[in-house]
Amino acid sequence: MLLNSAFAKKFGYMPSCIARAPGRVNLLGEHVDYNDGPVLPVALDMAVELAFAPKEDGLITLHALDLGERVTFNLKSMQDKKDWQGHELPHWALYPAGVAWALQDAGLSVPGMQAVYTSEIPIGAGLSSSAAVEVAFAVAWQALGGWKADRMKIAQLCQRAENVYVGVASGLMDQFASAHGVTGKALYFDTRNLEWQTVPLPPATALVIADSRVPRSLTVSAYNQRRAACEQAVELLRKYRPDIRSLRDITPIELAAYQEFLPEEIEKRAEHVVKEIARVHSAVRALELGETRSFGALMYAGHASLRDLYEVSTPELDILVETAHLLKGCVGARLTGAGFGGCTVNLVEEAQVDQFIEGLKIGYHNKTGREAVIYHSQASNGASVRKARN
């Protein structure tokens, strides 16, 4: 195995185990996590893989094979975010170092480690490569440390690493999906009470992810503006519904009754969130009943809402969705992730995938002059650890 060979080349002996953690794509439920809403992600068959072995001196030496970079840091001095020689940790190393910090802070054993890792997940495409790195290291340290924790706890610790140590304000969905994925299933995840269940994906379908190659440019200010609009909507609606905690607590009918009391932009943002939450619930019912066309219609509706009401799409993402809609075998399509660039997700009949991908590439190039990067994927299992084979 290439990962074993890479480890042996770097350290002179074979690794003890291989950890794997997948990326994720979200099928429905965009921009609802900070409104206590439910989401519908899928763990992908693109993953981070990590070959590792324990090290007795408490040092952690990591090789990021894709970057060609190496770092060593001491578990005793992670708070300073410096390597063992006192230099600032490179940005990529903050994610595994943050996991070690979060685990230790929770009172869990974090043995020294030597590791090499690589990723099939494209960086910066909105498929949660960073969360996959975090979860892979967490389950590796769990295997070495011998401690028990359920997958939700692992996801929460990884989220804390990203929020507090790395300084990225992410929700829990990415780490949750990477830890909990199930082959052939979507994951309904309630971000308010953390309840979740698997939902069957339509048989004989595949996930096709199209990277627009427009870098995601969601600025902090744009994100904060949308969060603030949601919070303002809640404050205004509390005059009529004093009991609500978030937009999760307003139904589409109630919003229609009170929307005249909201400023136009605030109403548009609230309408997206409230109806997107309703779409997630409808999607679960459609999938459970095998109503594939209904599910696809909800994906298209979600994209239109993100484009027109939340205003986070781009011309390129719109073209990808419009082109997909016209291609044979496409069940549904929408932008996925925060928007302002990045990817679309398409549910496609398996028998039509090759023709669909070719048609999408050609159509997108003809209309934009850009080359989309397209991935044929399936729903996969979540994080795992296995013994390395010599």
Beta strand ranges found along the chain (DSSP E): 17-26, 38-39, 41-55, 59-64, 69-74, 112-119, 185-190, 196-200, 205-211, 330-336, 343-349, 373-377, 384-387
- pLDDT at position 329 over 70: yes
Average pLDDT over residues 250-264: 97
Banded pLDDT at 253 (limits 50, 70, 90): very high
Give Rg (Cα) of the chain: 22
Report if residue 248 sits inside a domain. Answer: no
Q: Which domain holds residue 97?
A: 2-191
How does the average pLDDT of the chain come out, rounded? Answer: 94
Q: Annotated catalytic sites, by residue?
A: 174
Decide: helix, strand or coil at residue 65.
Answer: coil
User: In this structure, what is the dihedral angle of CA atoms 297, 298, 302, 308, given to the nearest 10 degrees?
Assistant: 50
The pTM is what? 0.94
Is-contact 23 44, C-beta < 8 A? yes
In DSSP terms, which residues pair with 333 in a beta bridge?
346
107-120 burial code (b ≥16 CB/10 A, e <16)? ebebbbbbbbbbbb
Q: What is the mean pLDDT of residues 359-387?
A: 97
Name the pLDDT band for 38 (thresholds 50, 70, 90).
very high
CA-to-CA distance for 55 and 8, rounded, in angstroms? 15
* Cα 318 to Cα 128, 310, 331, 336, distances in angstroms: 22, 14, 16, 12
Task: List Cβ neighbours of 69 (8 Å cut-off, separation of 6 or more).
Answer: 63, 90, 92
Question: How many domains, in total, are found in the chain?
Answer: 1
Question: Contact, 70 vs 62, CB < 8 A?
Answer: yes
Please report the pLDDT score of residue 365 as a whole number: 98
- What is residue 390's predicted lDDT score, i.e. its pLDDT? 64
Residue 355 lies in a domain: no
pLDDT band at 1 (very low <50, low <70, confident <90, very high): low
Q: Which pLDDT score, from 0 to 100, does residue 224 have?
A: 82
Which backbone phi and psi does 206 adopt, to 5 degrees? -135, 160
Characterize 143-164 residue by residue with b for buried, 16 or more Cβ atoms within 10 angstroms of its Cβ, and e for exposed: bbeeeebebbebbbbbbbbbbe
d(CA 141, CA 164): 19
Q: Is 100 inside a domain boundary?
A: yes
123 pLDDT band (50/70/90 cuts)? confident
List C-alpha distances in Å: 384 to 26, 92, 144, 287.
Answer: 21, 22, 13, 27
Q: Is residue 123 classed exposed, middle or buried when 0-12, 13-18 and 19+ CB atoms within 10 A define those classes?
A: exposed
Residue 218 has pLDDT above 60, yes or no: no
Q: What is the pLDDT of residues 67-83, one digit of tens each?
A: 999 999 998 878 889 99
Averaged pLDDT, 195-222: 87
pLDDT of residue 341: 87
For residue 301, tell me if it sits in a domain. no
How far is Cα 174 from Cα 30, in angstroms, rounded to an integer?
A: 12
Is the per-residue pLDDT at 217 higher than 60? Answer: no
Which pLDDT belongs to residue 75? 84
Output the pLDDT for position 272: 98
**Cβ neighbours of residue 224 under 8 Å, at least 6 residues apart?**
none
Instruction: Determine the residue type at 146.
Output: G
Q: Is residue 70 part of a domain?
A: yes
Amino acid letter for position 116? V
Confidence of residue 221 (pLDDT cuts 50, 70, 90): low
Average pLDDT over residues 330-340: 93
Band (pLDDT 50/70/90 cuts) for residue 23 is very high
- DSSP code at position 123: T
Q: Would you place residue 220 in the very low, low, confident or very high pLDDT band (cuts 50, 70, 90)?
A: low
For residue 347, being part of any structural domain is answered with: no
Q: Is the pLDDT of residue 373 over 70?
A: yes
Residue 36: DSSP 8-state: T
Contact (Cβ atoms closer than 8 angstroms) between residue 14 and residue 117: no
pLDDT band at 152 (very low <50, low <70, confident <90, very high): very high
Q: State the CATH number of the domain containing residue 120.
A: 3.30.230.10
Residue 219 — pLDDT band, cuts 50, 70, 90? Answer: low
Q: Is residue 128 part of a domain?
A: yes
The reply to whether 239 falls in a domain is no
